[in-house]
């Protein structure tokens, strides 16, 4: 514990939904829900307007639609979220060399290590400037917590939400924590919380009253000692700069269970390509290829294969994933597939190309569906965004023409029309797609409807929220 509140915790407010509201002027002040849109989709983030209806993250999208039928339901746009996150993290790194990102929208900062604050007044001023800089750069609001430890800084930012700042003065921790629920403390999940509730302990103050010995008896020595220290507000963990990436993975949950083995192979190949793209974007290669299969009965299987050395070659990853799939029984159907790479390194092993060409010579070729893709299923409780592509069955006869894939447009995705310019998909169905033509900083735009195969309408990359003048 520090004698001054010089550890800062930043948490962007309803990040994905707020980015969507900022980039789509017609959605400002409206209920926005971001996540998987299919029958098995899961909410990744809900705007504060949607939360008033009881919608929250990790909730099935179908349930959210019942609670908030008039909300805007959008697929995630992770490339835009990462770009906005980069702007935010750049401002944190100006404050200190010790920045510990926890996710795209959350990080700890050691202000003392950056020489920015050594007392309460300096910490508060720095936090307020940071919030103003982030709003100027992105148009988004952020909540900031300041305290003498990481745990308390995170508690403070949560109490400050939305769009606020809370500083916890050293020496006031126990008084602040006492009335809070035990779930406030890190490591107290639903199971531990229920176990404590049955023992009559529901608040942090009651944890302190129970005493360390009683907590050790209830939940074990390691967890009990740690829980008691946290209840007292004691946390000596340092801010660790730039956590090393341990793995890169992508996965998709399907609206309908996949039964066709060729379709399943196709999806695995497509996921392998997506995984390699993310691997290369992160500047890594990897040695171990991991396949994840969740079957119709919710049983989840993982299979892995370790190569002779690290690679970022898509052919190597595709073929390793295909070999792993051969050992998985998909009878009965598959609801989720995922491909990942672990054992990351900053270099590649060139002779692995020989392994790709020599692997499984009798394995059938798997066609590439060549469709547009949604973002990785981050923060959606495994629900994920659905692929914007319809994969057709292979031709029945030798030399039969390949049937064309139907164009599908998912709500929230970016498009550009040859005449009307940039816009986003509001919805589609019955051969039609409805587009609202607007962009960040504009007035709410007009809505037009087109045929799904209109040649003038094309997918587009997201537009930046605002121009970036660089960190202040």
Tokens at residue 261, please? Answer: 């083995």
Task: Note whether 148 and 2 are within 8 A (CB).
Answer: yes
Q: Of residues 20, 49, 106, 319, which has the active-site annotation?
A: 106
Task: Note whether 172 and 186 are within 8 A (CB).
Answer: no
Tokens at residue 418, please? Answer: 């040859």
DSSP H/E element including 381: none
Instruction: Report how far Cα 375 is from the mean position of its chain's Cα atoms.
Output: 9
Task: Note whether 33 and 49 are within 8 A (CB).
Answer: no
Tokens at residue 38, please? Answer: 């299919």
Taking CA atoms, 457 is separated from 103, 189, 201, 391, in Å, by 34, 47, 59, 21
CB neighbours of 263 closer than 8 A, spacing ≥ 6?
391, 393
- Look up tokens 């390949």; give the residue: 402
What is the rounded distance in angstroms from the CA atom of residue 122 to the CA atom of residue 313?
49
- Look up tokens 């697929």; give the residue: 75
| Known catalytic membership, residue 106 | yes
Instruction: Report how far Cα 180 is from the mean position of its chain's Cα atoms.
Output: 28
The sheet with strand 285-295 has its strands ordered as: 247-258, 334-345, 285-295, 300-311
The residues assigned a catalytic role are: 106
């Amino acid at each position: 514990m520090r004698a001054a509140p010089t550890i800062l915790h930043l948490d962007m407010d309803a990040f994905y939904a707020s980015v969507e509201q900022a980039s789509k002027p017609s959605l400002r002040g409206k209920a926005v829900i971001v996540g998987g849109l299919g029958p098995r989709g899961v909410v990744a983030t809900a705007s504060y307007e949607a939360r008033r209806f009881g919608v929250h993250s990790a909730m099935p999208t179908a349930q959210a639609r019942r609670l908030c039928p008039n909300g805007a339901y959008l697929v995630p746009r992770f490339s835009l979220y990462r770009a906005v996150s980069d702007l935010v993290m750049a401002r944190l790194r100006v404050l200190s060399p010790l920045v510990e990102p926890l996710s795209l929208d959350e990080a700890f900062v050691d202000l003392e290590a950056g020489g920015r604050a050594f007392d309460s007044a300096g910490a508060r001023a720095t936090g307020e400037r940071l919030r103003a800089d982030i709003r100027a750069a992105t148009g988004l609001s952020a909540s900031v917590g300041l305290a003498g430890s990481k745990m308390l800084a995170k508690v403070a930012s949560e109490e400050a939400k939305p769009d606020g700042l809370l500083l916890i003065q050293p020496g006031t921790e126990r008084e602040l924590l006492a009335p809070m629920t035990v779930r406030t403390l890190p490591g107290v999940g639903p199971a531990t919380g229920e176990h404590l509730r049955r023992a009559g302990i529901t608040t942090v103050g009651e944890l302190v009253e129970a005493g360390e010995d009683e907590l050790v008896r209830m939940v074990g020595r390691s967890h009990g000692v740690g829980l008691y220290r946290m209840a007292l507000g004691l946390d000596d963990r340092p801010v660790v700069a730039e956590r090393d990436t341990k793995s890169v993975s992508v996965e998709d949950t399907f609206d309908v269970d996949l039964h066709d083995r060729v379709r399943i192979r196709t999806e695995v190949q497509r996921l392998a390509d997506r995984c390699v793209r993310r691997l290369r974007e992160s500047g890594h290669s990897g040695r171990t290829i991991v396949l994840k299969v969740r079957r119709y009965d919710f049983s989840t299987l993982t299979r892995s294969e370790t190569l002779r050395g690290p690679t970022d070659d898509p052919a190597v990853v595709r073929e390793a994933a295909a070999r792993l799939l051969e050992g998985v029984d998909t009878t009965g159907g598959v609801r989720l597939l995922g491909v990942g790479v672990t054992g990351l390194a900053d270099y590649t092993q060139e002779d692995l190309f020989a392994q790709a060409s020599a692997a499984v010579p009798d394995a059938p070729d798997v066609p590439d569906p060549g469709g547009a893709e949604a973002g990785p299923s981050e923060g959606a409780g495994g629900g994920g965004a659905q692929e914007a592509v319809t994969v057709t069955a292979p031709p029945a006869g030798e030399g039969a023409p390949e049937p064309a894939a139907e164009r599908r447009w998912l709500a929230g995705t970016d498009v550009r029309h040859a005449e009307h310019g940039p816009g986003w998909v509001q919805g589609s169905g019955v051969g039609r797609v409805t587009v609202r033509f607007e962009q960040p900083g504009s007035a709410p735009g007009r809505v037009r409807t087109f045929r799904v195969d209109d040649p003038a309408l094309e997918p587009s990359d997201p537009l930046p929220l605002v121009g970036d003048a660089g960190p202040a």
